[in-house]
Amino acid sequence: MNFENKTALVTGSARGIGRVIAQSFATAGANVVISDVDQAACEKTASEIGGAAIACRADVTSADDIDQLFKTVTDKFKRIDIVVNNAGITRDGLMIRMDEKDWDTVLDINLKGAFLVTKSAARIMMKQRYGRIVNISSVVGLTGNAGQANYSASKAGLIALTKTSAKELGSRGVTVNAVAPGYIETEMTAALPEAAREFFLSKVVLGRPGTPEDVARAVLFLASDEAAYVTGQVLAIDGGMMIS
Ligand code: NAD
């Protein structure tokens, strides 16, 4: 896939899945905006990717940060073709013991953050009459998961946001899709207890954990012109976890 002359913004791309998505776009010729709440990590990642990658710190829960982010991107590249809503966190715990704060923080970053970014991106993409938005949901947004009431609700909300934005933006040449990764090895899943890791892996038909590259390949497809007639869809990248 060729992304020359395209500009791609990936939120939460200082590390993990977002970083590999950003690197993959850069390798395929795109200008890439590395955005993350962690400024130092953001700058380090952008300099390691090199080429046309720029770092732009933004907290996705701040409307002011997001306004500034899109201003910086359009000043520099004049357009924004691809946005990947990847920034996300977990604050796991059984629902009866879950703090209200842990509910709010996860919903703010994972869902409200994607709303703010999509809103800013949509204004520009509708004028361009071109855009590709890919949201990083999760299989637990489709199935639910004990211990993740906040996280699975945020990821289910992201799927509804995907379908709604696809309906609102489709007539202007903007597609909106989601991927639903299963168990992917990153720092986020490294924090899981061994029993949880074994439980997830026992459900993977392909018998191995996923890699950030597995997710990135699907994101690049959905952002490409090859996927021009695909919108409002959720593609599970889970090694068959959903069917077992
Ligand atoms: P990660 O923790 O390695 O990376 C997440 C990144 O988001 C970090 O760089 C972090 O600084 C950034 N971030 C956190 N809060 C932010 C904020 N307010 N504003 C901007 N950036 C912020 O996680 P990961 O495993 O790479 O996950 C990436 C995405 O994929 C997340 O949305 C996650 O929910 C989703 N996902 C991951 C898995 C998995 O198994 N790892 C499975 C399904 C979905």
Ligand 1 atom with the shortest distance to the CA of 17: 26
Is any atom of ligand 1 closer than 6 Å to the C-beta of 13? no
Question: What pLDDT is recorded for position 193?
Answer: 86
Q: Is the pLDDT of residue 134 over 90?
A: yes
Q: Is the pLDDT of residue 84 over 90?
A: yes
Q: Do 8 and 32 meet the contact criterion of CB atoms below 8 Å apart?
A: yes
What value does the mean pLDDT take over residues 25-52?
97
> Best mutation site among 9, 33, 89 for ligand 1, i.e. most ligand atoms within 8 A of its Cβ?
89
Active site residues: 151
Question: What pLDDT is recorded for position 218?
Answer: 98
Is any atom of ligand 1 closer than 6 Å to the C-beta of 186? yes
At residue 239 the predicted structure's pLDDT band, cuts being 50, 70 and 90, is very high
Is any atom of ligand 1 closer than 6 Å to the C-beta of 196? no
Question: What pLDDT is recorded for position 148?
Answer: 95
What value does the mean pLDDT take over residues 92-121?
98
> Best mutation site among 36, 62, 155 for ligand 1, i.e. most ligand atoms within 8 A of its Cβ?
36
Q: Do 11 and 87 meet the contact criterion of CB atoms below 8 Å apart?
A: yes
Q: Is the pLDDT of residue 87 over 90?
A: yes
Q: Is the pLDDT of residue 52 over 90?
A: no
Question: What pLDDT is recorded for position 8?
Answer: 98
Q: pLDDT, tens digit, for every residue of 189-226?
A: 888 889 888 988 999 999 999 999 999 999 999 999 99
Element (H, E) at 117: helix 113-128
User: Rounded to two decimals, what is the model's pTM?
Assistant: 0.98
Q: pLDDT, tens digit, for every residue of 5-19?
A: 999 999 999 999 999
Residue nearest to atom 44 of ligand 1 (CA): 138
- What's the gap in Å between 86 CA and the centre of ligand 1? 6
User: If DSSP codes are grouped into helix, strand and coil, which group holds residue 205?
Assistant: coil
Distance of CA 232 to the CA centre of its chain: 15
Q: Do 83 and 9 meet the contact criterion of CB atoms below 8 Å apart?
A: yes
Residue nearest to atom 23 of ligand 1 (CA): 188
